[in-house]
């Protein structure tokens, strides 16, 4: 029976470590002023972390680091070096090249935090993995939304203090994970390095079903998050930026309810059924959006509901991925699937940005429904898992 401190420590450490992901978002206006950037260049700052994360997950998966190194040590090292890379932005804020390199390095190191945290959870909660990862992804969702809360409340902290505080938080999370969470009883002996490990995990049919269901989910998730402010600005052109930011926070943060609630439901109904149901509901929201986007009185509750279900299936897909992967390659499996999933988000976001120039906004998310549809077709065999 795991100690009562294990899950809270894993959740806090995961939130603390992944807070590095969005630290740059919270100080973008200040960096823009410091670097003299144009609006177009700000996308580079946001994308640098995501590209770094994709590169990091590919490297970690190729070398099977999450399975060959103690996940606690990997988490600690990446949290400490990620905190260092984040705080060094303070000293490179006069060079766009330096800032981009450090934000990319931060994303690279996050590859040893997010998937490693899920493997640590899997080593402790094999039978209740859906619930445990529900808490982990719920914390990540709140971290994603947090910069919008800061903007909406008009926090007046100096941007240097914000970056320093996030770095300290991440470092503390890494230390707590290492000191308070020993290796779990379900931690399998790590695999030896083989070039084919990254591909070998896809040989299992049930693993492929879980992975492709996750890919369909990711096609929709980050596109929805990215365009929530655009949707709200379209529907409520008279709102102040602070009010738009607070509502954006509410819609994205609602996903934590879906993650945690779905985790509890998975104990009764199974991760496969919960993932299928939430992916189905979010896909229906894509189709219904063409009408609801033109009905302001319905839009806010609709977006909050969509926010709940669009993120709520994520931890269940991760739980299925961990459960269906070869035991000695769980870390590699989680890492490579996460990497591919985030690469898919870039394609989806760029495609939606293009469609926004040729389609009326109410029709924008109808083509995005193809992701949930394909995900439902592949994950259906796992509804009994």
Q: What is the pLDDT along the chain (385 residues), one digit of tens a residue?
A: 456 788 889 989 988 888 887 777 667 667 777 777 655 555 567 678 888 998 998 888 777 776 677 889 999 999 999 999 999 998 887 788 888 899 999 999 998 998 788 778 878 876 666 777 788 888 888 877 776 776 667 656 677 887 888 899 899 999 999 999 888 777 665 555 455 666 666 777 888 889 999 999 999 998 898 888 888 988 888 888 778 878 988 999 999 999 999 989 988 888 899 999 999 999 999 999 999 998 888 999 999 999 999 999 998 998 888 888 777 677 677 778 888 898 898 888 888 888 888 889 889 999 999 999 999 999 888 876 5
Residue 200 is inside which H or E element, if any?
helix 197-200
Q: 3-state DSSP helix/strand/coil percent for the chain, to nearest 5?
A: 80, 0, 20
Report which of 21, 12, 58, 147 is spatially closest to residue 341, judged by C-alpha positions.
58
Question: In the block, which residue shows the tokens 């591909």?
Answer: 199
Residue pair 116/74 in contact (Cβ under 8 Å)? The answer is yes
The token duo for 371 is 């992701």
pLDDT reported for residue 282:
96
Contact 323, 271 (CB under 8 A): yes
3-state secondary structure of 64: coil
- The Cα 318–Cα 306 span in angstroms is 20
Q: State the virtual CA torsion across 11, 16, 18, 21 in degrees, nearest 10.
A: 160
| 144 neighbors 329 (Cβ within 8 angstroms) | no
Structure tokens belonging to residue 139: 């914390």
HSE (side-chain half, CA atoms, 13 Å) at 9:
19
Give the pLDDT of residue 200. 67
Rg over alpha carbons for the chain, rounded to the nearest Å, is 20
The pLDDT of residue 157 is 65
pLDDT at 328: 66
Tell me how crowded residue 130 is: count the other CB atoms within 10 A of its CB.
29
| Phi-psi region at 296: left, alpha or beta (left = phi > 0; alpha = psi -120 to 50) | alpha
Q: Domains in the chain, start-ordered, CATH in brackets?
A: 6-382 (1.20.1250.20)
Rounded to whole angstroms, how far apart are CA atoms 226 and 248?
A: 10
Q: Which of 122, 108, 112, 164 is nearest to 10 (CA)?
A: 122
């Amino acid at each position: 029976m795991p100690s009562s401190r294990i899950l809270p420590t894993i959740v806090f450490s995961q939130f603390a470590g992944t807070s590095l992901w969005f630290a740059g978002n919270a100080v973008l206006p200040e960096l823009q002023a410091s670097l003299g950037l144009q609006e177009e260049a700000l996308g580079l700052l946001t994308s640098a972390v995501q590209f770094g994360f994709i590169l990091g997950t590919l490297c970690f998966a190729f070398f099977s680091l999450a399975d060959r190194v103690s996940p606690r040590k990997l988490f600690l090292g990446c949290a400490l070096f990620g905190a260092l890379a984040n705080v060094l932005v303070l000293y490179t804020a006069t060079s766009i090249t330096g800032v981009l390199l450090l934000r990319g390095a931060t994303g690279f190191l996050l590859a040893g935090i997010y998937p490693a945290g899920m493997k640590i959870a899997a080593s402790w909660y094999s039978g209740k993995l859906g619930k445990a990862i529900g808490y982990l992804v719920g914390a990540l969702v709140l971290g994603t939304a947090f910069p919008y809360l800061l903007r909406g409340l008009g926090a007046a902290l100096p941007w240097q203090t914000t970056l320093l505080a996030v770095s300290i938080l991440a470092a503390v999370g890494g230390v707590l994970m290492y000191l308070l969470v020993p290796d779990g009883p379900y931690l399998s002996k790590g695999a030896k390095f083989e070039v084919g490990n990254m591909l070998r995990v896809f040989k299992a049919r049930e693993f492929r079903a879980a992975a492709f269901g996750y890919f369909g989910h990711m096609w929709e998730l980050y596109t929805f998050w990215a365009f929530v402010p655009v949707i709200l600005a379209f529907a409520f052109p008279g709102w102040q930026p602070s009010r738009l930011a607070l509502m954006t926070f509410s819609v994205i943060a609602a996903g934590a309810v879906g993650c945690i609630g779905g985790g509890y439901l998975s104990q009764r109904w199974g991760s496969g059924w919960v993932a299928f149901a939430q992916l189905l509901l979010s896909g229906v929201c894509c189709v219904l959006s063409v009408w609801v986007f033109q009905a302001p009185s319905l839009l806010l509750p609709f977006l909050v509901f969509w926010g709940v279900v669009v993120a709520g299936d994520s931890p269940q897909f991760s739980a299925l991925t961990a459960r269906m992967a070869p035991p000695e390659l769980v870390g590699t499996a989680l890492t490579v699937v996460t990497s591919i999933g985030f690469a898919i988000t870039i394609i989806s976001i760029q495609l939606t940005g293009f469609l926004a120039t040729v389609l009326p906004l109410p029709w924008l998310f109808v083509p995005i429904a193809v992701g949930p549809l394909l995900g439902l077709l592949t994950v259906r065999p796992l509804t009994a898992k």
